[in-house]
């Protein structure tokens, strides 16, 4: 982002000017190509077609480059990184999302360091292969798996965290890669998916939630999938009205993925009585997946056109390193 001419509001940055704002990029011995999606938008306006366009652009240029850096607003960056992790199958090259907390025109901006290091990571190889063949987020000295991350700060430079998975790399004077945490190179050829099913919703539980609220979400016309944000280790109310509404949704072939509201820890359905009912009716426990990753995973699985039983099995599997089974 940059400040508009009047200096009152932040507006999207014209990426074609990136070399003027970050001249240090010229010191790399890399061929750098800048593609700017027009019109530039605030990341709060990102939608499924934008994710599909990003996947398409990477696929079209995949053979010609060693890695890709996506400059993205921070507000929905974790959502986009998660979505791209599912859309880009058998990825063998880095796709690094990064951004900034302070506008690039400001003196104390974090944009320059984030971008410079993201470019270096995207281009780094060992024995002819990319070191990080996955979708990541680089921010404030940490390289995180994209579908394990979430924005945790709005006013500090260390904006992103990965509560349930360690960093892939840490940067200081050198870049220290934690190789054991990085996904292995796939053996199958790369391909990009071009479909996501956006008929999904998030149902966040809270004490005192009413039948009217739950029904309004579960009975949304054409809805096919729900991310159910539960308490603690996957616990939910045991009132008959609540369980009946969930069962009715399941009987209509709805996919329901149980995700914890906690930033760390995991869903363990059946550990407490308040989650055993969910387990018994066939709701999928999301283990330690984030809500951000669960939403796009649900969109991805729904787009495959599977039956309910097979789709539930896909949801319960670790597809892109997004959950620990």
Averaged pLDDT, 208-224: 97
Classify 145 as helix, strand or coil: strand
Task: Determine which helix (DSSP H) or strand (DSSP E) holds 129, and give its type and residue range.
Answer: strand 129-130
3-state DSSP call for residue 227?
strand
pLDDT band at 34 (very low <50, low <70, confident <90, very high): confident
**Domain identity same for 69 and 205:** no
For tokens 């971008």, the residue is 115
Is residue 7 pLDDT above 60, yes or no? no
The verdict on 224 and 174 lying in the same domain is no
What percent of the chain clears pLDDT 70, i.e. is strictly above it? Answer: 91
Q: Identify whether the C-beta of residue 257 lies closer than 8 Å to the C-beta of residue 294.
A: yes
Sign of the torsion angle spanned by Cα atoms 138, 144, 150, 156: negative
Q: Work out the mean pLDDT of the chain and round it to a whole number.
A: 92
Compute the average pLDDT of residues 207-231.
98
Confirm whether 322 is domain-assigned.
Answer: no
Shared-domain flag, residues 132 and 52: yes
Residue 246, C-beta contacts closer than 8 angstroms, at least 6 positions apart? 218, 256, 278, 281, 283
Q: The CATH number of the domain where 80 resides is what?
A: 3.40.50.1170
Same domain, 174 and 210: no
Cα gap 290→38, rounded to integer Å: 30
Final residue in a domain of this structure, among 192, 217, 250: 192
pLDDT at residue 28 above 90?
no
Domain span including residue 18: 2-192
- The reply to whether 164 falls in a domain is yes
Residue 104: inside a domain: yes
Residue tagged 């990965």 (tokens)? 162
Q: Is 254 exposed, middle or buried (0-12, 13-18, 19+ CB in 10 A)?
A: middle
Tokens linked to 223 = 């809805």
Angle made by CA atoms 30, 34, 35, in degrees to the nearest 5: 145
What are the Cα distances from residue 316, in Å, to 80, 143, 150, 201, 320? 21, 26, 21, 18, 12
Domain final residue pick, 159, 192, 225: 192
Within a domain: 324: no
Report the distance separating Cα 14 and Cα 317, nearest Å. 40
Overall domain count for the chain:
2
**Whole-number pLDDT of residue 33:** 87
| 265 & 289 share domain | yes
Q: Residue 323 falls within a domain, yes or no?
A: no
* Burial letters 97-123, b for 16+ CB under 10 A, else e: bbbbbeebeeeebbbebbbbbbbbbbb
The reported pLDDT for the residue numbered 17 is 65
Task: Name the least confident of 15-29, 44-58, 255-269.
Answer: 15-29
- CATH classification at residue 262: 3.40.50.40
Same structural domain for residues 141 and 253? no
Write the pLDDT tens digit of every residue in 153-177.
887 878 899 999 999 999 999 999 9
Tell me how far apart the alpha carbons of residues 247 and 144 are, in angstroms, rounded to a whole number: 37
Tokens of 148: 């394990």
* Bridge partners, 11 (sequence order): 2
Q: Which two tokens stand for residue 211?
A: 């039948």
**Residue 45: its pLDDT value, please?**
95
Of residues 289 and 101, the one with the higher pLDDT is 289
Single residue among 192, 211, 246 that ends a domain in this structure: 192
pLDDT for 206 equals 98
Please give the Cα distance from 70 to 29 (Å, whole number). Answer: 20
The per-residue pLDDT for 20 is: 66
Query: For position 31, what pLDDT does the model report?
Result: 83
Specify whether 216 is located in the same domain as 124: no
Indicate if 291 and 234 belong to the same structural domain: yes
10 pLDDT more than 70: no
Based on the fold, state whether residues 30 and 109 are members of the same structural domain.
yes
Domain identity same for 44 and 188: yes
Q: Note whether 299 and 197 are within 8 A (CB).
A: yes
pLDDT (0 to 100) of residue 184: 97
Residue 321 lies in a domain: no
Residue (of 265, 263, 296) closest to 135 by Cα position: 296
Residue 325 belongs to some domain of the structure: no
Q: Does residue 64 sit in the same domain as residue 209?
A: no
Q: Is the pLDDT of residue 102 over 80?
A: no
CA separation for the pair 264, 47 (Å, rounded): 27
pLDDT at 22: 66
Contacts of 77 (CB under 8 A, 6+ apart): 43, 97, 99, 137, 151, 160
Per-residue DSSP letter, 264: S
Report d(CA 122, CA 120) in Å as an integer: 5
- Widest Cα–Cα separation across the chain: 65
Banded model confidence at residue 268, pLDDT cuts 50, 70, 90: very high
Do 42 and 180 lie in a common domain? yes
Among the ranges given (107-111, 179-183, 275-279), the one the predictor scored with the smallest mean pLDDT: 107-111
Task: Tell whether 87 is covered by a domain.
Answer: yes
pLDDT of residue 1 exceeding 60: no
């Amino acid at each position: 982002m940059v400040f508009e001419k009047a200096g009152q509001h932040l507006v999207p940055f014209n990426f074609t000017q990136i070399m003027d704002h970050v001249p240090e990029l010229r010191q790399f011995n890399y061929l750098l190509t800048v593609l700017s999606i027009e019109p530039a938008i605030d990341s709060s306006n990102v939608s499924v077609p934008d994710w599909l366009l990003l996947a398409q652009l990477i696929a079209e240029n995949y053979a010609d480059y060693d890695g890709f850096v996506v400059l993205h607003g921070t507000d929905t960056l974790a959502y986009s990184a998660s979505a791209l992790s599912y859309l880009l199958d058998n990825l063998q090259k880095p796709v690094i999302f990064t951004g900034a907390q302070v506008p690039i025109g400001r003196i104390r901006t974090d944009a320059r360091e984030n971008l410079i290091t993201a470019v270096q990571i995207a281009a780094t190889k060992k024995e002819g292969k990319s070191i990080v063949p996955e979708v990541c987020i680089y921010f404030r000295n940490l390289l995180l798996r994209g579908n394990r991350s979430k924005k945790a700060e709005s006013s500090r430079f260390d904006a992103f965290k990965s509560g349930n998975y360690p960093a892939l790399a840490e940067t200081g004077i050198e870049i220290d890669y934690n190789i054991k945490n990085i996904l292995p190179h796939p053996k199958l050829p790369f391909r990009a998916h071009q479909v996501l099913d956006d008929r999904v919703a998030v149902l966040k539980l809270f004490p005192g939630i009413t039948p009217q609220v739950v029904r309004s979400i579960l009975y949304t016309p054409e809805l096919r999938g729900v991310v159910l944000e539960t308490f603690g280790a996957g616990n939910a109310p045991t009132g008959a009205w609540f369980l009946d509404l969930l069962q009715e949704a399941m009987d209509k072939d709805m996919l329901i993925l149980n995700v914890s509201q906690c930033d760390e820890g995991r869903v363990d359905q059946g550990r407490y009585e308040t989650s055993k009912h969910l387990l018994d009716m066939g709701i999928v426990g999301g283990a330690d997946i984030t809500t951000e990753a669960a939403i796009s995973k649900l969109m991805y699985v729904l787009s495959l056109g599977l039956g309910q039983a097979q789709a539930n099995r896909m949801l319960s599997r670790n597809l892109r390193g997004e959950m620990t089974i």
